[in-house]
């Protein structure tokens, strides 16, 4: 066989190797993207579980939550505990929103997490925390607009 034929065969083989490599890389990229989505979902779920367990296992917080739902006044110390809890829930909802914006979690799942967080914003105190954070520019403005459409803090 002439050298030209060997060069031609080598050129075709190297072209095929490049195509096979690209296909493999695309498949790996898809797998990695899905793994990131799963990890992001798990992180959000874990944080939500932490908030639920904190409320269930902290009698003081449960009492504060009951007082705010009943419209009772809470002490300054209770207000700090409540504000921290509600702010953490709001931050977790923002994270779900931003992950969905980046395509790292499914938008339906993120919406469920945000709706779960919005369910806490039925009290005057929680709405006050939302309004304060909105006025202080502490959260992503797109998230606050989305979240504001899910809660009724007009009372």
Residue 152, helix vs strand vs coil: coil
pLDDT tens-digit map of 62-109: 899 999 999 899 999 999 999 999 989 999 999 999 989 988 888 998
Q: In this structure, what token pair is assigned to residue 145? A: 């607009």
Tokens read off for 44: 């959000």
Is the per-residue pLDDT at 49 higher than 70? yes
pLDDT for 131: 86
Tell me phi and psi for residue 31, to 5 degrees.
-60, -45
Is the Cβ–Cβ distance between 100 and 110 less than 8 Å?
A: yes
**CA triple 111-133-75, angle to 5 deg:** 110
Task: Give the up-direction half-sphere exposure of residue 83: CA atoms within 13 A in the CB hemisphere.
Answer: 12
Task: Tell me the pLDDT band of 138, cut-offs 50, 70 and 90.
Answer: confident
């Amino acid at each position: 066989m002439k050298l030209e034929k060997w060069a031609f065969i080598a050129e075709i083989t190297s072209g095929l190797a490049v195509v096979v490599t690209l296909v493999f890389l695309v498949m790996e990229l898809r797998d990695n993207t899905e793994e990131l989505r799963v990890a992001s979902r798990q992180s959000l779920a874990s944080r939500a579980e932490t908030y639920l367990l904190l409320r269930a296992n902290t009698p003081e917080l449960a009492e504060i939550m009951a007082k705010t739902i009943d419209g009772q006044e809470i002490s300054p110390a209770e207000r700090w505990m409540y504000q921290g809890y509600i702010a953490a829930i709001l931050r977790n909802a923002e994270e779900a929103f931003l992950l969905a914006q980046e395509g790292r979690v499914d938008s339906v799942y993120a919406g469920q997490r945000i709706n779960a967080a919005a369910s806490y914003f039925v009290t005057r105190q929680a709405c006050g925390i939302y309004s304060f954070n909105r006025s202080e520019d502490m959260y992503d403005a797109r998230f606050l607009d989305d979240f504001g459409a899910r809660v009724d803090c007009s009372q």
